[in-house]
Chain A
Amino acid sequence: MARHVAEQVRSSGGRPGPGSRADAVVRIRGLRVVRGATEAIRSLDLTVPGGAVVGLLGPSGSGKTTLMRAIVGVQVVAAGTVEVLGRPAGDPSLRREVAYVTQAPSVYPDLTVGENLRYFATLLRTGPDDVARVLDAVDLTAGAGRRVGTLSGGERSRVSLAAALLGSPRLLVLDEPTVGLDPVLRRDLWNLFGRLAASGASLLVSSHVMDEAVRCDRLLLMRDGAILADDTLASLLERTGTAYAEHAFLALVEGASEAAR
């Protein structure tokens, strides 16, 4: 069974494995983030390879969003360094190259889909062609004239995603982009992520649905503000002797707590 899933991973990718450490898009050393009274991330080291779809998986509250915010440069950090595309996270030059989609769709509900995208396109200095391209990418061309507030939750998050695709950023940080979508749309979006990576972009995609691990070139398993595993799904399954990402996660958690004892 493990081999079966591993096979799927290989065939779904169909391109050379994720980039080497040399062309890493994100390098994190000793990151520590304190939110309120709790330590959301404690001493985290991480290197994210470029040109790949990297899945950030873990239960809610494990620090996925905080880590993503730190990478985008909108999170106040207590310690450590976060380097993105060779520059410090949040560097003004990165605002054109790194796109971030928050978990809740961050678009204006009182504007139409097209009005939203045209505004963000102006800020990114791209034109109507780019708006048409991203509308097509998220399959919303027909709904461009509709007010975002009248759309379903899934449609809204696709508008939010479309806004992030404007200007063809080199790194896309997507916080649970497939939550609440029907299986067909979820599949279409993961196919889109694969195409983006194939064209040279790097993606960091979080999810609390372990099934989606199959669609990622590389996985980061997160729990309690720390990285539990940083590996491909195939090697993760092999290492834990399990057949599913979910079981591998459980095996790692149990392994970690036994080691702590």
Chain B
Amino acid sequence: MSARMTLATAARVLRQVRHDPRTVVLIMLLPCLLIGLVAWMFDGTPVLDTIGPTLLGLFPLLVMFLVTSVTMLRERLGGTLERLMTLPVGRGDVVVGYALAFGLLATVQAVVVTFFAVVVSGMDVVGPVPALVLVAVLNALLGTSLGVAASSVARTEFQAVQMMPAILFPQIILGGLILPRDQMPALLEAISVVLPLTYGVDALQSLARDPDVDAIWGDVVVIAGFVLVALVVGARTLRRRTA
């Protein structure tokens, strides 16, 4: 791997994004609209304060998973990935380049949406707001690295889009978002332990009610570990030789 090639790849991906301003606007605006909808619907209740931070952390995960798996699939189908694999660029450079580019995009998204939620919608976060942004960005990196891996299973863009419910929805259902994990059947609780999003949800819920930021560091380390593993798996799915 080389820093120069990783950065060149990240810059190239960001240039592609820049040529598609409508997608950028959707990525920034849509979560704000949804947060606004929740704020309006539960006006005068503490509901936004309870689920708002978790929602905020989920948007980057979902959006970056989708964006990455579709972009990556286009690379695979369009022949550009095959070209890259014949060039002196490491597979890690490609995957980390993607993670950097979409991580940056996710950071902007997280900052914009958090600003909107806190300032415009009046969401009250008990923990520190920058920590909320940090967890959101880690979730986005998780989404990007899982998206790279998911794109290797898909053959068409339709299939790539279906990978989101296949890979992310079970994590959302089992991650403690719908039912606290200690109230789930023992087997499902055991499964939730090995799902990365469980730790993201745990950190976000902790930030919603606990002023002590130290409570999230354990989760942050686990999510970072999952991101690393997913990046390695994602890089392994790029093949120099294909049938």
Chain A residues in contact with chain B, CB under 8 A? 35-36, 72-76, 90, 92, 95-96, 98-100, 102, 104-111, 115, 119-120, 122-125, 147, 163
Question: Given contacts A74-B241, A90-B240, A111-B19, is CB(A96)–CB(B88) below 8 Å?
Answer: yes
The residues of B that contact A35 with a CB separation of less than 8 Å are 243
Residue on B with the closest CB to A116? B12
- Among A92, A104, A119, A163, which residue has its beta carbon within 8 angstroms of that of B88? A92
Q: Are A119 and B12 in contact (CB under 8 A)?
A: yes
The list of the 10 closest CB pairs from A to B, nearest first, reads: A106-B79, A122-B8, A95-B88, A106-B83, A119-B12, A123-B89, A76-B243, A102-B79, A110-B16, A110-B19
Question: Given contacts A76-B243, A102-B79, A106-B79, is CB(A95)–CB(B86) below 8 Å?
Answer: yes
Instruction: Write the nearest CB–CB distance from B17 to chain A, whole angstroms.
Output: 9
Q: Are B88 and A90 in contact (CB under 8 A)?
A: no
Residue on A with the closest CB to B80? A106
Proximity string of chain B (107-125) to chain A, C-beta cutoff 8 Å, 1 when within and 0 when not: 0000000000000000000
The residues of A that contact B242 with a CB separation of less than 8 Å are 74-76
Interface residue? B20 (CB, 8 A): yes
Instruction: Write the nearest CB–CB distance from A67 to chain B, whole angstroms.
Output: 15
The residues of B that contact A99 with a CB separation of less than 8 Å are 86
Distance, CA A73 to CA B87, complexed state (A) = 11
Question: Given contacts A72-B86, A120-B87, A123-B84, is CB(A108)–CB(B12) below 8 Å?
Answer: yes
Q: Are B80 and A108 in contact (CB under 8 A)?
A: yes
Distance, CA A72 to CA B241, complexed state (A) = 10
Chain B stretch 12-53: residues in CB contact (< 8 A) with chain A: 12, 15-16, 19-20
Instruction: Write the nearest CB–CB distance from B2 to chain A, whole angstroms.
Output: 9
Q: Are B16 and A106 in contact (CB under 8 A)?
A: no
27 contacts between A and B (CB under 8 A): A72-B86, A74-B240, A75-B241, A75-B242, A75-B243, A95-B87, A95-B88, A99-B86, A100-B83, A104-B79, A106-B80, A108-B12, A108-B78, A108-B80, A110-B16, A111-B19, A119-B8, A119-B9, A119-B12, A122-B4, A122-B8, A123-B5, A123-B8, A123-B87, A123-B88, A125-B88, A147-B19
The residues of A that contact B89 with a CB separation of less than 8 Å are 123
Instruction: Write the nearest CB–CB distance from A131 to chain B, whole angstroms.
Output: 13
Question: Given contacts A74-B241, A75-B241, A111-B12, is CB(A102)–CB(B4) below 8 Å?
Answer: no
- Among B5, B8, B11, B80, which residue has its beta carbon within 8 angstroms of that of A107? B80
The residues of A that contact B84 with a CB separation of less than 8 Å are 123
Residue on A with the closest CB to B241? A76
The residues of B that contact A163 with a CB separation of less than 8 Å are 83
The residues of A that contact B157 with a CB separation of less than 8 Å are none
Distance, CA A90 to CA B240, complexed state (A) = 8
Q: Are A108 and B16 in contact (CB under 8 A)?
A: yes
The residues of B that contact A108 with a CB separation of less than 8 Å are 12, 16, 78, 80
Q: Are A111 and B15 in contact (CB under 8 A)?
A: yes
Q: Are A106 and B8 in contact (CB under 8 A)?
A: no
Instruction: Write the nearest CB–CB distance from A61 to chain B, whole angstroms.
Output: 17
Distance, CA A120 to CA B86, complexed state (A) = 11
Could you list 18 further interchain pairs (A-B, Cβ under 8 angstroms) beyond the known A108-B80, A109-B78, A147-B19?
A36-B243, A74-B85, A74-B240, A74-B241, A92-B88, A95-B87, A95-B88, A100-B86, A102-B82, A104-B78, A105-B79, A106-B82, A108-B16, A110-B16, A110-B20, A120-B83, A123-B5, A123-B89
Instruction: Write the nearest CB–CB distance from B131 to chain A, whole angstroms.
Output: 35
Residue on A with the closest CB to B84? A123
Q: Are A106 and B78 in contact (CB under 8 A)?
A: yes
Distance, CA A177 to CA B86, complexed state (A) = 18
The residues of A that contact B5 with a CB separation of less than 8 Å are 122-123
Instruction: Write the nearest CB–CB distance from B243 to chain A, whole angstroms.
Output: 5
Distance, CA A108 to CA B8, complexed state (A) = 14
The residues of B that contact A72 with a CB separation of less than 8 Å are 86
Residue on A with the closest CB to B17? A110
Distance, CA A74 to CA B86, complexed state (A) = 7
Distance, CA A95 to CA B8, complexed state (A) = 18
The residues of A that contact B9 with a CB separation of less than 8 Å are 119
The residues of B that contact A90 with a CB separation of less than 8 Å are 240-241
Instruction: Write the nearest CB–CB distance from A223 to chain B, whole angstroms.
Output: 22
